[in-house]
Amino acid sequence: MVIAITREISPRFNECEITHIKRTPIDLDVARTQHHEYVNVLKTLGCTVFELPAETDLPDSVFVEDTAFILPEIAVITRPGAASRKPETESILRALSPYIKLIQVREPATVDGGDVLVLGKNIYIGLSSRSNQTAIDQLNELLREYGYTVTGVKMHDCLHLKSAVTRVAEKTLLINKSWVDTHPFENFDWIEVDPVEPFAANCLPIGESIVFPTSFPKTRAKLENKGYKIVTVDVDELAKAEGAVTCCSLIIQ
């Protein structure tokens, strides 16, 4: 069984943190409709979805990915880099605890789940404005007994590592190589985003399918030409808060 944890959109979503894009007004009704469609896609793909209620005073809390990352053996509760987001982990800890063993990142480490890319026993963390070297050092200690190695990756011009590179399959990555140091990923096959779609590197594999935004048809065509089954979802309104398809769920397999 695949479990997906999601959270409804806060009524204060327009007060979300913005780092690398210009702030534009978010239509809450449209954002909620898009989020519901996203949840329905997860259900269609076989996920058992647990939908948490909106956190009224936490504008970014729909982006549950940043509060944790899930490994086969254990889940790691993060310590988000933005002060306004640190309280988000409390309800996620409660939501995850029935399903998997938990450990927590501690102060002064900061790490957003959007900066965490798990590729087998190698975990890559973007050295961003939200995630620091202290978190990498701490996670190497916490996860050593499970056989994981945690490595920092230099990046720029985007919020999170998974804005620039995500996993498509075991040995294949979707990547915008203009935003990330590609050296750590030299042993993988790359599907490069179309140059006119720099934000297209974020995709979400679920089973045999890839959840992907409707906004990037040129990159979608590249994925389909490689034989991947693409399921599209409109997340344009969520993208105004620097969100994407991995951001809105925590997947337990």
Specify the pLDDT at position 38.
98
Please give the pLDDT value at position 94. Answer: 97
The pLDDT value recorded for residue 225 is 98
What is the count of structural domains for the chain? Answer: 1
In this prediction, residue 165 carries a pLDDT of 98
User: Which is the catalytic residue, given 47, 160, 203, 248?
Assistant: 160
pTM as predicted: 0.97
Q: What's the pLDDT at 93? A: 97
Residue 80 and residue 86 in contact, taking contact as beta carbons nearer than 8 Å: yes
| SS3 of residue 18 by DSSP | coil
Residues 76-123 have pLDDT tens digits of: 999 999 999 999 999 999 999 999 999 999 999 999 999 999 999 999
Per the DSSP assignment, residues forming a β-bridge with 125 are 116, 152
Residues 6+ apart with CB under 8 A from 194: 200, 216, 218, 219, 222
Tokens of 247: 């951001």
Predicted confidence at residue 175, as pLDDT, reads 98
Distance CA 57, CA 36 (A): 20
Which DSSP state fits 193?
P
Domain region containing 58: 2-252
SS3 call for 220: helix
Distance CA(30)–CA(235), nearest Å, equals 10
pLDDT in tens, the chain (253 residues): 899 999 999 999 999 999 999 999 999 999 999 999 999 999 999 999 999 999 999 999 999 999 999 999 999 999 999 999 999 999 999 999 999 999 999 999 999 999 999 999 999 999 999 999 999 999 999 999 999 999 999 999 999 999 999 999 999 999 999 999 999 999 999 999 999 999 999 999 999 999 999 999 999 999 999 999 999 999 999 999 999 999 999 999 8
SS3 content of the chain, % helix, strand, coil (to 5): 30, 30, 45
For 53-158, strand residue ranges (E) read 68-70, 75-77, 102-104, 116-119, 122-127, 149-154
User: How many CB atoms lie under 10 A from the CB of residue 80?
Assistant: 24
Catalytic residue among 47, 158, 247, 248: 247
CATH assignment at residue 65: 3.75.10.10
Question: How far apart are alpha carbons 113 and 161 in whole angstroms?
Answer: 9
Q: Active-site residue 47, yes or no?
A: no
Active-site residue flag, 160: yes
* Cα 61 to Cα 167: distance, rounded to the nearest angstrom: 24
